[in-house]
Structure 1
Amino acid sequence: MREHFGDPYAESWARDYVLAPLGGRTVTQALADGESAKSVWRAVCQVEEVSPRLR
């Protein structure tokens, strides 16, 4: 997340942006609910144009 969004924005994005692929939860909520980091990152990649090298 930090490499894609930048250090200051990654935390804010994870806390505030609700993702449909995560069932209407934020990254922070999904991780707190026990979702794996890998599945959360895949959800981020579905809604953002993430560089192929970071996927």
Structure 2
Amino acid sequence: MRLTEFWRRMNAHFGETYAESWARDYVLAPLGGRTVDQALADGESAKTVWRAVCQVEDVSPKLR
């Protein structure tokens, strides 16, 4: 998954403004206690990070 597709899905699920805030502030256990932003900065793939988001959020099946 490309990073642009990751952010498209994040924006579709959370809304454009909240997606950025959530990615910056919310710590995800499936990412080893990192935020989305931290995991992406550490080199995790967008696909891995998206799967982690889907584990902790009730993401629409259309976006999964």
Match of 1:38 among 32, 36, 47: 47
Question: How many aligned positions are there?
Answer: 55
Higher relative contact order (CA 8 A, sep 6+): 2
CA shift, 1:53, in A, is: 0.4
Q: TM-score, normalised by structure 1?
A: 0.99
CA shift, 1:22, in A, is: 0.1
Structure 1: gaps of 5 or more residues: none
Structure 2: gaps of 5 or more residues: 1-9
Q: TM-score, normalised by structure 2?
A: 0.85
Aligned residue in 1 for 2:19? 10
Aligned residue in 2 for 1:47? 56
RMSD over aligned Cα, in angstroms?
Answer: 0.2
Between the aligned partners of 2:11 and 2:25, the Cα distance in structure 1 is 15
Between the aligned partners of 1:40 and 1:7, the Cα distance in structure 2 is 18
Moved over 6 A (4+): none
